[in-house]
Structure formats: structure tokens, C-alpha cells
Amino acid sequence: MISPGTDIVQDKEEGVLTYTALKILRVAAESFYEQDFNSVGMRMVASQTIVRGRSPYHYFASKKEILFAIILEATRDFIADHPPTKNATVDFEQYLQMLVEHHFYYFCEHRHALGVGYREMYNLTVDHQEIAQKCRLQYQTQHSKIYQDWHRCWRIPL
């Protein structure tokens, strides 16, 4: 799930990132995390990801687009994949437990993307910074609601 205006190749049928594009994001996030955004070149990312001679530029317009996609994936996509439930038939305690477990596993898996997102935000364009900040605020609001729900359900102090 990538923001409008981001030039990224998506599967035409599914509307999702291709396997190779996702692989590029993972390798780039790890590389940006271990070094920094400005020390990692597209050739380095390409050497670890590309199959059949395609360039990362086939999937992303620029290295900044990769960084932008990494940041969005680590914040907005968790929210999009885990919308709050209003279904009265759902066991609220089980729903919250599942949500927190998914949250924990998702962010363990995306820990490099999160670290890179916070450290390298200044490398984005101003428009992309605004979009990323808006996604982070939305995530924080959603996260706060989850904690409030936990508090109501189990009387856990905030």
C-alpha cells in the first residue's frame, strides 16, 4: 500500500507491490539502517535484490522514493491492515489480544524500517515529509485508542 504520487511499480491485477519491489524495500531498509541513507547507493541495493537484470529504477523512481515507501510501510500499512472493529459479535478481549500480538510481530519485522524512518526523514521531499508525518500522527492516534481500549477492558493503568 503506497501513497498516491509515489512512482512505484505495482501488480496490475492486485494493486500491491511486486515481490521484487518488496525485496528492494527490505534490503534498502536494512542497508539504510546499518549505514545511512546517503552512504547507500542504488547499485548496492540492486546487487542484493534484482533478478533478470532489472534495475531498482524499474520499481522506484529514485532512492528517495524507496525511503518514502519504507517509512509509509512501517506506519500507515499497519493501520490499514488492522482497522478498528465495530463488530458487536467480536470478542473484544480476543480482538485486542490479537491486535497487540500483530502489532508486536509487525514492528519486530519492520524494526529497521522504523529506525530508518525516524533517522532519515529529512532526506524526503517536503511533500513526502508531510505525508509521512500525517501517517505517523494517524498511527499514534490509533495506537492511543488501542491503549485506551486495553485500559477499559483490563483496568490497566495508562
Please tell me the distance from the alpha carbon of residue 61 to that of residue 7, in angstroms, as a whole number.
Answer: 6
Q: Are 77 and 71 in contact (CB under 8 A)?
A: no
Task: Note the pLDDT of residue 150.
Answer: 67
Task: Note the pLDDT of residue 5.
Answer: 41
Taking the complete model, does pTM exceed 0.75, yes or no?
no
What are the residue ranges spanned by the domains of the chain?
19-154
Check whether domain 19-154 has CATH 3.30.210.10, yes or no:
no
Task: Note the pLDDT of residue 89.
Answer: 64
Task: Note the pLDDT of residue 15.
Answer: 46
Task: Note the pLDDT of residue 6.
Answer: 46
Can you give the C-alpha Rg of the chain in angstroms? 17
Mean pLDDT per 10-residue segment, the chain (158 residues): 44 59 91 93 86 76 92 77 63 76 82 86 91 85 73 62
CA dihedral angle for residue 3, residue 5, residue 11, residue 17, rounded to 10 degrees:
-40
Distance in Å from the first CA to the final CA of the chain: 32
Please count the other Cβ atoms lying within 10 Å of the Cβ belonging to residue 63. 19
